[in-house]
Structure 1
Amino acid sequence: MKTLGQIYESFRFAWRALKSNVLRTILSLLGVTVGIFAIISVLTIVDSLEKNIKDSLDFLGTGVIYIEKWPFTADNDGVYRWWDFWKRPNASYNEFKFLQANLKNENGMVIFSGKGNSVIKYGNNSIGQIRLIGGSQGYDVVFEVNIEKGRYFTPEEIESGRNVAIIGYEVAQALFPNEGDPVGKTIKIKNLKYIVAGVIRKEGQSFLGTPSNDYCTIIPYQAFRRLYQTGTGNPQELTSRIGVKGKESDVGLVELENEVRGILRTRRGLKPEEKDNFVLNRPEAIANVIGNLFDVVGVAGWIIGGFSILVGGFGIANIMFVSVKERTSIIGLQKSLGAKNYFILFQFLFEAVFLSLIGGMAGLLLVFLLTYVPMGSLVVTLTVKNIVLGLGVSSAIGLISGIIPAALAARLDPVLAIRSN
């Protein structure tokens, strides 16, 4: 109770001191407000950008290893050796079957290929620039295929390569504007008839405009191979990729990666001294590159905001020195009535932190208002982590700025303090 009473008394003293000179208080707060706004706004935008970009990469799946000839990122020396990569063989259907029979640690596997700028027709309606995907069994395990109407392919349809299709939301809207449920209707792809088995739920546009299921059509892999040459391993044909889904933990993925590498090297007859003629891509590699880039931007934000925070800290220290000088006689009177040094110290420290926190909260309010500014497809969100960080930095600045004035006030001689006027 005694501690709560001291906090209450300190709050009253701090509030009275701040109200006594509002203009001086506001001017002292500006540095902290601008500094916190600069730091937290940069961190908020950086975090939002990073989240939006990573969300845009969700189409790559999570915990997935891709077997293909083109790596996602450059080598460790920063060089992307395309002249070596294009000679590599594509992943083949026979390799997919071999891996399917021999892998022990996978949670799902698929071989798939795609072709852009495809035209889908139904009667007199058509839609172009559609991504046509051929996927084997396991496509719905490795990737999210949220069916809104109808169903996914049956194993028999996939293995036999029947002419069935699952269409995206926008494809359904364009081809069947007044037809109601498209399931069971017959569409045409390259003048071949396909029965619509299902419609994918609307996803909307991503921040980076990465491929969306809204503008795609999925057919069985063997049906896709009847339209385009792929899956034989020929470097010149349409690229096929094998996706292997592993356990979510890094350890599980590393074990799976080693297992896949060993089996595929054996399948391709590579000698121990020969380099891999394939690459095992993981979406986490892109995420790490993005994370490193935004770490640099975040440091720049701290440097920019740090100067404003420094100015704000000097402003708070200045107002606290003035406050100690103005209240010297009151401090002497408090001490003569029995107030301990730690109470005086705590009183002025509380005032400095309280002052800094007001500036910090004002900066956070400006950042919060910034989240309502339209920024196209970028969704800016002020996270709890950044709010706590902003309040923590404000409190630290107040504590550092107020420690010397508070210590001077606590060490004043009561007799000399009372006689100071």
Structure 2
Amino acid sequence: MQFLRQVFESFRFAWQALRSNLLRTTLSLLGVTVGIFAIIAVFTLVDSLERNIKESINVLGNNSLYVQKLPWTFDGPYQWWKYFQRPELTYSDFRYLNEHLENADAVAAAGGKGGVTVKNGNNSMPCRISGVTMDYNRVTDVVLATGRYFTAQEQDGSRNAVILGAEVAENLFPNQIAVGQTMKVAGLNFIVIGVQEKKGASILEVGGNVDRRCLIPYTTYAKLFQSLNPSISIFVKGYDTDPGLEDLEGEIRGIMRARRSLKPTQTDNFAINRPEALFKFIGAIFAVLTTAGWVIGGFSILIGGFGIANIMFVSVKERTNIIGIQKSLGAKNYFILFQFLFEAVLLSLVGGLAGIALVYLLSFIQLGTLELHLTAGNITLGLGVSSIIGILSGIIPAFSASRLDPVIAIRAK
């Protein structure tokens, strides 16, 4: 109990010392403030960018593989001259995989064409038309705000049914309920059966902006646009019991090689792409940005730490006589040590809080599609780094103060 009371007294002495030298205190904590601001600002920016990009990538779906003509390559030069000679993936390839795959939970295909004008009366806008098969909503992220998904009859019968993106519905049917109404796609009448939930713009829009996209049955899409864009992508969702989707990938490769009559010595003339490859590439970029944040902020914090240490040595020199009096009245060494150590930590924490407050104010600035979020983890990190800097900066001055001889200290002027 006495120990806790003495610790509290040490804290109170430290607070009074800081209050009595406000200008010196303010100048001392500027370095820590700038350093914590730099580190937490970079971390907040990286976290917000990562969240924004991952939300846009989620449209690709989870636990899925993509069978396509071209591979996703994120390291080294892209050897396009090899890949462009490959045959296109066709609707018959999709049907063959759908019939023969045993390790797949769902198989879907999609083709797309951008810049297609859609109309409703005098309202019109260009958007991307995506032709999708029946299980597309099981493989990728299709969230409907109103209406329903396609039926098997609409797919098999090549019906003119359409699911609108949120922005398309707002532009073509302002202040109206879009579901059940008729609109024109490429000059043909289509009935609206659903409207997707609004996602908003993102920095990295994989497959285009979902809010500016219309989904139609693939068979309908094939009649309208297949001759202009014959290539499709095949989406295959695996089971949770297949970790890493190794069995599924091997089965897809075996079926596609057999279908295309490839010899054992021949390389694949198709690609099996994984969404996690994109995640790893983006994660590597964010790791570099995070390291840069530590380096930039580290120099500022280092300067701030030296500033705090210098001020603490000056403070010990100024209060040497008081230290001698305290020791002569029975103050223990740890009481003196805690007194100055708390002062250094408190000084550093105030600087860290000021830096975090600046980042919080920065989060209110509009950065287009990017929303900055200051997380509790980053706040904790900032306070933790500030505390460590305070301890490292104050431990030597505090230790030297605690070791002063009380007789010599009282005589000091």
Q: Fold-level match, TM-score > 0.5?
A: yes
How far is 1:15 from its partner? 0.5
Give the corresponding residue for 1:242. Answer: 234
Tell me the distance in 2 between the aligned counterparts of 1:307 and 1:399: 17
**SS of the counterpart of 1:107?**
strand
Is the 1:53–1:207 Cα contact (8 Å) retained in structure 2?
A: yes
Give the corresponding residue for 1:233. Answer: none
**SS of the counterpart of 1:202?**
coil
Tell me the distance in 2 between the aligned counterparts of 1:110 and 1:34: 52
- Does residue 334 (structure 1) correspond to residue 326 (structure 2)? The answer is yes
Count of aligned pairs between the two proteins: 412
Give the corresponding residue for 1:137. Answer: 134
Tell me the distance in 2 between the aligned counterparts of 1:229 and 1:399: 68
Tell me the distance in 1 between the aligned counterparts of 2:196 and 2:31: 52
Structure 1 residue ranges without an equivalent (≥5)? 231-235
How far is 1:173 from its partner? 3.1
Tell me the distance in 2 between the aligned counterparts of 1:6 and 1:279: 70
TM-score, reference length from structure 2:
0.92
| CA shift in 2, pair 1:270/1:352, >3 Å | same
Kindly report which structure 2 residues correspond to 1:11-22, keeping only aligned pairs within 5 A, or say none. 11-22=11-22
How far is 1:105 from its partner? 3.3
Which of 177, 182, 186 does residue 181 from structure 1 map onto? Answer: 177
- Does residue 165 (structure 1) correspond to residue 157 (structure 2)? The answer is no
Give the corresponding residue for 1:380. Answer: 372
Give the corresponding residue for 1:65. Answer: 65
Kindly report which structure 2 residues correspond to 1:21-420, keeping only aligned pairs within 5 A, or say none. 21-74=21-74, 76=75, 78-122=76-120, 124-177=121-174, 180-208=176-204, 211-229=208-226, 237-247=229-239, 251-420=243-412
Is the 1:137–1:159 Cα contact (8 Å) retained in structure 2?
A: no
| CA shift in 2, pair 1:17/1:175, >3 Å | closer
Tell me the distance in 2 between the aligned counterparts of 1:254 and 1:386: 37
Tell me the distance in 1 between the aligned counterparts of 2:68 and 2:265: 21
Tell me the distance in 2 between the aligned counterparts of 1:227 and 1:138: 21
**SS of the counterpart of 2:130?**
strand
Tell me the distance in 1 between the aligned counterparts of 2:254 and 2:112: 27
Tell me the distance in 2 between the aligned counterparts of 1:321 and 1:57: 53
**SS of the counterpart of 1:277?**
coil
How far is 1:249 from its partner? 9.1
TM-score, reference length from structure 1:
0.91
Moved more, 404-413 or 146-155: 146-155
Tell me the distance in 1 between the aligned counterparts of 2:240 and 2:343: 49
**SS of the counterpart of 2:178?**
coil
Moved more, 129-138 or 52-61: 52-61
Moved more, 324-333 or 208-217: 208-217
| CA shift in 2, pair 1:126/1:369, >3 Å | closer
Is the 1:320–1:348 Cα contact (8 Å) retained in structure 2?
A: yes
Letter in 1 for 2:320: T
Letter in 1 for 2:154: E
Letter in 2 for 1:361: L
How far is 1:31 from its partner? 0.9
Tell me the distance in 2 between the aligned counterparts of 1:63 and 1:343: 59
Tell me the distance in 2 between the aligned counterparts of 1:3 and 1:264: 75
Is the 1:186–1:194 Cα contact (8 Å) retained in structure 2?
A: yes
